Chain A
Amino acid sequence: MSGANDRDPPTPKASAGSKKFQRWFSPTFLMVSVRGRHGAIVVPQRDAFRLPRQTGVADPALRRLLGHAIPVGTAIGIFLIWEAGVRVFQVPTYIAPAPSDVGRTLVEQWPLLMRNFWPTFYESIMGFLFGNMAAILIAVAFVHSRTVERAFFPIAVFINTIPILAIAPILVLIFGAGLTAKVVIAALICFFPTLVNMVRGLQAVSPETLELARILSASRSEVFWKIRLPSSLPFLFSALKIAATTCVIGAIVGEWVGANSGLGALIIDSTFNFRSSLLYATVFLSSGLSVMLFALVTIAEKLVVRW
């Protein structure tokens, strides 16, 4: 055969590891990826964020540098204005601490912060695992049986409509003040977005692909393992990114209702004792936990969803 003379055959992508690494951890990448969590349903749109925009800078290296420098510079600028504002207007520390105070507290109170970080970390991870596992299994059941979907989907929607702040005390009453209640709350908050996305993902198979499976006389389990499950993975990872940040919120809300340790307990404690610097440091640490989990899921996605 004369062979590969189709027009415009795209060249395979260069797999420069360091370049990829840079991209995952670039501030712009994280920011844009976080945007996905504002909607419950996130349709995976590869590279949609890399639309060309006019920046007026021609040199690509310089443009890349600018791409990193702009968000970092803006953040530094905000901190400086904040610091200056607190000093110039002599705002008392208990109302709003200066960034330098918060930084000092972060260093000085590091052992205390870590003592409270680990319980929250553990609850978030456990809630993430249980909530998503349950959502995935129930999604599989929904896709295989219309009856199960009809029976349970309204209940899932109903549970999702209860504000997490309202259901948290109920769960603490049921499971007690220990870890279990927090894990359940974190799991609950992860559950619904993953359920919806996973159902969508499992159904995101083109009718022609299903006809192909039929012509090959594929069994239901073959269609599931070879076609449906892999095609759902991009959808699943979009949901897991949502869950990576919300599970921390769930754990902290659970700790608010009743706990002796954990970042949520520390937030309550430092608020009531007017230890504003400690409060701010705790908030930073909470958000750091979310960012870390989000980055882990993003890395896992890049390793698994290679297509």
Chain B
Amino acid sequence: MGAADPAGAAHDYAAVLRNAVVRFGNFTALQDISLELEQGAFWTILGPSGCGKSTMLRLVSDLVPAASGEVSVLGKSTEEARLAREFAFVFQDATLLPWRTALKNVELPLEIGRRRNIKIPVSDRSPRELLALVGLQDREDALPRELSGGMRQRVAIARALVCQPKLLLMDEPFGALDEMTRDHLNLQLLQIWAETGVTILFVTHSIPEAVFLGQKVLMLGANPGRLREIVDIDIPSPRAIKVRDTQEFTKYTAYLRRLLEAD
């Protein structure tokens, strides 16, 4: 991992980090991160709290700058990628605007920048179709307070897809939900991934969730935040919930748990 490819190959990757470092004052949040995220992949990020999981997503999405090293998204700088709406972000909190209906919330990204003649990429699917994709076709006119936590998060996912991003960054999106809802949304997310072909980088603090969703699990360590190991999850897609009861699955979760405890 991290070996520099010859120039020109950068486009096959949704994101490339080379020796990226993030500092907040004297605190090193991320040290020397190198990775190449292939287009169409679904990677999960796991690690103890304070290891810089969220910071890594914020580095890729141009919310925090790299102190040194290089970060590129689809061959562009993170800023260019942000202006071109190449990526979208789903937060732990759904961050819906409470005065807008579900449909109006999904349409928000299309309104931002329209007056400034910024070219906004638009998904092949209309906002209505995206709400249907997340199973909320009959709740278009509902206000966020009328929706359950899981439904709000699904609206946020539909909103993230409205500009047809190539990379979807998700920061513990299901962390605040109960387990049944989380299972349901995990399955739905895998289905959306299969249908849209979007690349997903997904932060979680749940080991089973990381194994269930990810083709690879990035294990981060704390103090300073660093990449410890990339674990390939060789469970074929499409995955069903009962995958979790297999020995293979528990083998991965046990291994990752040992890694976490050894840090």
B151 with A6: CB separation less than 8 A = yes
- Determine if B97 is an interface residue (Cβ-Cβ < 8 Å): yes
Which A residues are in CB contact (< 8 Å) with B63? 211, 214-215
B151 with A219: CB separation less than 8 A = no
> Top 6 closest A-B pairs, CB basis?
A3-B135, A6-B150, A1-B135, A307-B98, A216-B112, A307-B99
Within 8 A of A (CB), among B165-181: 178, 180-181
- Determine if B88 is an interface residue (Cβ-Cβ < 8 Å): yes
- Determine if A222 is an interface residue (Cβ-Cβ < 8 Å): yes
Question: Which of A206, A217, A226 has the largest count of B CB atoms less than 10 A from its CB?
Answer: A217
In the complex, the number of residue pairs spanning A and B with C-beta atoms less than 8 Å apart equals 103
A212 with B95: CB separation less than 8 A = yes
Q: Which of A7, A12, A306 contacts B178 (CB 8 A)?
A: A7
Which B residues are in CB contact (< 8 Å) with A7? 148, 150, 178, 180-181
A222 with B112: CB separation less than 8 A = yes
Taking A211-B89, A215-B88 as contacts, is the C-beta distance between A226 and B108 under 8 angstroms?
Answer: yes
Taking A1-B188, A2-B135 as contacts, is the C-beta distance between A307 and B145 under 8 angstroms?
Answer: yes
CB distance from A223 to the nearest CB of B (A): 9
- Tell me, in angstroms, the Cα distance from A214 to B118 when the chains sit together: 14
- Tell me, in angstroms, the Cα distance from A208 to B61 when the chains sit together: 13
B146 with A10: CB separation less than 8 A = yes
Taking A208-B95, A211-B89, A215-B61 as contacts, is the C-beta distance between A226 and B146 under 8 angstroms?
Answer: no
CB distance from A231 to the nearest CB of B (A): 8
A9 with B147: CB separation less than 8 A = yes
B88 with A5: CB separation less than 8 A = no
- SS class of chain A's interface: helix, strand, loop or mixed? loop
Within 8 A of A (CB), among B76-129: 82-83, 85, 87-89, 91-93, 95, 97-99, 108-109, 111-113, 115-116, 118
- Determine if B139 is an interface residue (Cβ-Cβ < 8 Å): yes
- Tell me, in angstroms, the Cα distance from A217 to B88 when the chains sit together: 11
- Tell me, in angstroms, the Cα distance from A153 to B177 when the chains sit together: 42
Interface positions of A (Cβ within 8 A of B): 1-13, 206, 208-209, 211-219, 222, 226-227, 230-231, 233, 305-307
Taking A6-B151, A6-B181, A216-B109 as contacts, is the C-beta distance between A306 and B95 under 8 angstroms?
Answer: no
Closest B residue, CB atoms, query A227: B97
Q: Which of B91, B98, B148, B181 contacts A212 (CB 8 A)?
A: B91
Taking A7-B178, A212-B91 as contacts, is the C-beta distance between A219 and B116 under 8 angstroms?
Answer: yes
CB distance from B48 to the nearest CB of A (A): 22
Which A residues are in CB contact (< 8 Å) with B95? 206, 208-209, 212
- Tell me, in angstroms, the Cα distance from A151 to B137 when the chains sit together: 51
B99 with A306: CB separation less than 8 A = yes
Q: Which of A4, A213, A226, A307 contacts B138 (CB 8 A)?
A: A4
Known: A3-B136, A4-B151. 20 other contacts (CB 8 A): A2-B135, A2-B184, A4-B139, A5-B184, A6-B181, A7-B148, A7-B180, A9-B147, A11-B146, A206-B93, A208-B95, A211-B91, A213-B112, A215-B62, A216-B109, A217-B118, A219-B116, A226-B108, A231-B99, A306-B99
